[in-house]
Amino acid sequence: MAPDTMVLLPARNEADHIAAVIAGVRNVAPEARIAVVDDGSQDLTAERARAAHAVVLPLPCNLGYGVALQTGYKFAVEQGVDYLVQLDSDGQHDPSGIPRLLEVVRSGNFDICIGSRFLEGKTYPIPPLRRAGMIVFRRVASLLLGQTITDPTSGFQAMNRRVLEFFCRDSYPVDYPDTDVLVMLHRHGFRIAEAPVPMHPRATPQSMHRGVRPLYYVFKMTLTIPLNLLRREK
């Protein structure tokens, strides 16, 4: 793994998992730089990430998943990174999938590769309501992108520097970057691929899609997806 690669781990209150995730990343990408964005954690997430020799980017309070990701993107661009892989810090995304995603992007044929839990036909336990939403947005994404997208809500992704720089713009959503971001990328000519990756059931019940948030998520996507079809930046 070339040193021009960074692995980005957005984290909030993941003290129980962050060290193991970092160790898993180092096992498959020993030369990659690892950056943990601590999104206002109230536990020992930052301390344990530093003890595992990751760079920690602390946010002053909980600013949200999108802000945490964009903080990492801007840091990666400043550090001269050419390729970035992002994955969750709760152990759901198996780091063993990193080389496969990077291989797709490094080929030069695609700008971003989404890690899909469904491509190899494996079963994956997902609450019924969330599964229904995933099916809807899977069909929407596939229709609008003109290609089959099986896992548009996956946060396990690899991207090149062109995508990184694009994500540093003000148009990047600060709350739930998801299917709308794929539509935005497609609208601006970026080449999108999917590759199968292993994922595990969520270790804790905490999720950014809990409580009434799924309703907000659906409402937001219903508004932003059409807007991103109209938006065209230089």
What is the residue-averaged pLDDT of the chain?
88
What's the mean pLDDT in 144-161? 94
What's the mean pLDDT in 154-173? 95
Domain 5-230: assigned CATH number: 3.90.550.10
Q: How far apart are CA 138 and CA 136, in angstroms?
A: 5
Which of 164, 160, 8, 174 lies closest to 87, judged by CA?
Answer: 8
Query: What does the pLDDT read at residue 126?
Result: 72
Tens-digit pLDDT profile for residues 84-120: 999 999 999 999 999 999 999 999 999 999 999 999 7
Tens-digit pLDDT profile for residues 6-55: 999 999 999 999 999 999 999 999 999 999 999 999 999 999 999 999 99
What's the mean pLDDT in 55-75? 97
Better pLDDT: 132 or 91:
91
Residue spans of the domains in the chain: they are 5-230
Query: What does the pLDDT read at residue 138?
Result: 86
> b/e string for 56-93 if b means 16 or more Cβ within 10 A?
bbebeeebbbbbbbbbbbebbbeeebbbbbbbbbbbbb
Beta-carbon-side half-sphere exposure of residue 97 (alpha carbons within 13 Å): 29
Q: Is 225 exposed, middle or buried (0-12, 13-18, 19+ CB in 10 A)?
A: buried
Identify the residue whose tokens are 């959503």.
173
